[in-house]
Structure 1
């Protein structure tokens, strides 16, 4: 008998959307409060230091030294309705309904600093959160064999430089230093494995297990009341990438931008800890079950690459009051095929997570209205595709779906040098259906997995509230 477990490291690869992120796939989505106010349609606006993220060529438009420091609070609301999750044996998993699994709120900071060196050169530094996820379903919910909890944190340092060729053409380049950290927990299907070994082809192996327990002085009768074991994991890694930008200024009122952000390769390394202490009330039974499962505390490893993005955007000042902007962003999510998770130094087979993501497009439109000399109002709308192809390829760590974003915001000048940005966004997700089956079951010795099928429907919407302070030296 071999009980297997989906390790933490897959969380880093699956964490894409969760209910605490904004953009589809990996991207958190909101990297600037000013951008949030226009649904991130402002790539060609280049109005403050956050252009480091959207298009580093925009640094050429900023005077002096500028700082923009902000935070976005994500307030999720999500419900899950189970429609028949099962053990690998086909029996219902039972358990409790998923409730309060999303956090009340999650905060993501951002910081951008720009400095103009001369008429040609400008430099900057950005710090932002590209990915994030936090879910805690508890150890007893219907889908516990797929996931009990997940937490992903990532932060990127992005030093950048811009070179202005002439009044029409500017170029930008940045380096991305990305730190990723993840934690994950999952139940181990001991009850399902015992049931499978109670009759049929597994009966002989089950009989051997009973003899081992009795020989050590344990109580084999407790196998009938055995509960789940549990595994917990953590992992972290630094990865490196780059971003490029080009800004074409047609005239004082119109400009076009192109921006590219590369993929980042990660070798996420972590540890795995197993807990069989609560499976039964008999420590001998628990010890035999853990030994039979071949579960030993060990390392965990997976290689993954985040998707690169390519954006095209435009900004136009219609008159002294009104400005419009638009952005189209292509994300190469098809890099995410099946994930192959390894357990170095053990005899455990790899865990294969079927993903097979598709590439996606995000389209956003936004506008500014100069209400007064000190107050500018913003608004925007966006449609964002999910990279997940189907319910059969949707995992509880990633209940992702297409969504609409509706945003508005404002910039209030406190003085000629300082201002405050405010932003609010509402994201409405399509229902996300799950019908995910792990193709490896606990009795197989060449691979890892509980063999569970998780079936259900997520209904999710998010509110994002942002505030930022800007200062010009």
Structure 2
């Protein structure tokens, strides 16, 4: 029995995320509570140190030393209805319904610091969580051969500097040092493989397996009731990139911005651990199954580049009370075609993950209302495209779809130096169909894959709660 399995099936896709705030893909929440309140339409507003993320040229508008410390709590709600997931043999995958597979909440912090050096130069540092996901379907759900669990954590350090040429033109530059860590698991389709070796073209290979078990003193009859095996992986990497910004100030009430965030190359390296100990009650049978599957604990590697983004934004102060803003962000997702995942130091064939993401656009509109000298109210709306092309290219690690975002927020001044930002967002996703088939099954020797087909419908929405404290030294 040839058993091929990919422990890094998600680790590759995890890095292939959009780089715009609250963008589709694996982007985590919001990078600024003030920005979240306007559905991230405020890149040209440049009102606090979080402009480091949106447009570093906006640092030129900040005086003295400013600090912004915040946290975004993401509260996900998702359901999955299976519509016929199968083994590679075409038989129903069986298993339990997906239930409670997303956490009650996930929190990501952010920190931004800026300091004006002189009339022309301003420096800053941003620390934020750009990507994140946490899904645990359990080891028995119907789509377990594609994924049982996945967890992604990332942190970016973004030192930046802005140069103010004159009253109209400012430029910004930043370096992105990105650390990424991923964990994932996937079931091993032992039952489907045993079934395929029981008759037809696989019968001779199945007979040889039975003889081997019997020769070692095991009970080959247990193959008929064999359960899944399981594989788990962890990987991590540092990657480097940069971001650029330009801010044009037409007059004291109107300004326009352009911002670019580069792609980042990653070499995710980790280890793979296999567990066949619960496949049957006979350790000999389990040992033979693992050996025949050619699964050995090993290293794993995937090389990839995250997509870059280009944003164009505007801000206008209509009067003392009202201000409006807008942002359009283009994300070059088509860098992420099919992914080849390799296992260095082994004879394992690579697995090809059919992804083929498309480029996307995110459009947001927002506004501020100065209720009084101490309280500013915010609101915004955004439409965000998903990079996933079709149900056939949708994977359980990213059941993504187009979504609408509705946001409200507020800034409350505590005194002349400090203030607090609050924000609430509701993200409504379109229903996401999945009909993903791994093109390499367990009997093939030149590639890796379970050969499963995962079919069903995801229904998802998110709530985001944010709070930040701002201080001017």
**Fold similarity call, TM over 0.5:** yes
CA distance in 2, matches of 1:192, 1:257: 56
1:364-375 matches, within 5 Å, as 364-375=364-375
Instruction: Name the CA distance, whole Å, in 1 between partners of 2:55 and 2:253.
Output: 18
Aligned counterparts of 1:220 and 1:214: Cα–Cα separation in 2: 6
Q: Within 5 Å, which residues of 2 pair with 1:222-241?
A: 222-241=222-241
Match of 1:175 in 2: 175
* Counterpart in the other structure of 2:107: 107
CA distance in 1, matches of 2:129, 2:98: 28
Task: Quote the Cα distance in structure 1 between the aligned partners of 2:359 and 2:26.
Answer: 12
Superposed CA deviations along residues 374-394 of structure 1, whole A, max 9, x for unmatched, are 000000000000000000000
- Distance, in Å, in 1 between the alignment partners of 2:447 and 2:260 is 38
Distance of 1:321 and 1:294 partners within structure 2: 69
Give the aligned partner of residue 253 of structure 2.
253
Q: Which residue of structure 2 aligns with residue 423 of structure 1?
A: 423
The residue number in structure 1 matching 2:379 is 379
Conserved? CA contact 2:17–2:306, under 8 Å: no
By how many angstroms is 1:373 displaced?
Answer: 0.4
Is the Cα–Cα contact under 8 Å of residues 15 and 398 in structure 1 kept in the other structure? no
**Equivalent pair of 1:366/1:378 in contact (CA under 8 Å):** yes
Could you list the per-position Cα deviations for residues 182-235 of structure 1 after superposition, in whole angstroms to 9, with x for gaps in the alignment?
Answer: 000000000000000000000000000000000000000000000000000000
Name the count of aligned residue pairs. Answer: 471
Which whole-Å CA distance do the structure 2 matches of 1:334 and 1:17 have between them?
11
Judge conservation of contact 1:10–1:339 (CA < 8 Å) in 2: no
Deviation at 1:16? 6.1
Partner Cα separation in structure 2 for residue 88 and residue 251 of structure 1:
64
Residue in 2 aligned with 1:399?
399
| Cα deviation 1:282-315 (Å, max 9, x = unaligned) | 0000000000000000000000111100000000
Rounded Cα–Cα distance in structure 2 between residues aligned with 1:323 and 1:48 = 16
Q: Secondary structure at the match of 1:222?
A: helix
Q: Distance in 2 between matches of 1:155 and 1:464?
A: 19
Contact (CA 8 Å) 1:271, 1:298: kept in 2 or not?
yes
CA contact (8 A) 1:441 1:448 kept: yes
Counterpart for residue 390 of structure 2: 390
Q: Is the 8 A contact 2:11 2:268 kept in 1?
A: no
Does structure 2 conserve the Cα–Cα contact (< 8 Å) formed by 1:12 and 1:182? Answer: no
Q: In structure 1, what is the equivalent of residue 87 of structure 2?
A: 87
Alignment of 1:168-317 (within 5 A): 168-317=168-317
Mapped contact 1:146–1:450 kept (Cα < 8 A): yes
In structure 2, distance between residues paired with 1:426 and 1:12:
28
| Residue matched to 2:130 | 130
Following the alignment from structure 2 to structure 1, what is the Cα–Cα distance between the partners of residues 456 and 431? 10
For the residue of structure 2 that corresponds to 1:245, the secondary structure is: strand
Structure 1 pair 17–407 and aligned structure 2 pair: CA distance change class (3 A)? farther
CA contact (8 A) 2:66 2:470 kept: yes
Name the residue aligned to 2:3: 3
RMSD across aligned positions (CA): 1.1
Q: Counterparts of 1:9 and 1:245 in 2: how far apart (Å)?
A: 35
Secondary structure class of the residue paired with 1:233:
strand
- Aligned equivalents of 1:447 and 1:323: distance in 2? 57
Unaligned runs of at least 5 residues, structure 2: none
Instruction: Give the Cα–Cα distance (whole angstroms) in 1 for the partners of residues 64 and 184 of structure 2.
Output: 45
Report the TM-score when normalising by structure 2.
0.98
Aligned with 1:166: secondary structure?
A: coil
TM-score of the aligned structures, taking structure 1 as reference length: 0.98
* CA deviation after TM superposition for structure 1 residue 4, in Å: 2.0
Query: Is the partner of 2:366 in helix, strand or coil?
Result: strand
Kept after mapping to 1: 8 A contact 2:29/2:74: no
Please tell me whether residue 452 in structure 1 is matched to residue 452 in structure 2: yes
Q: Aligned residue for 1:23?
A: 23
Could you tell me how far apart the structure 2 residues matched to 1:304 and 1:425 are?
Answer: 32
Tell me how far 1:3 sits from its aligned partner.
1.8
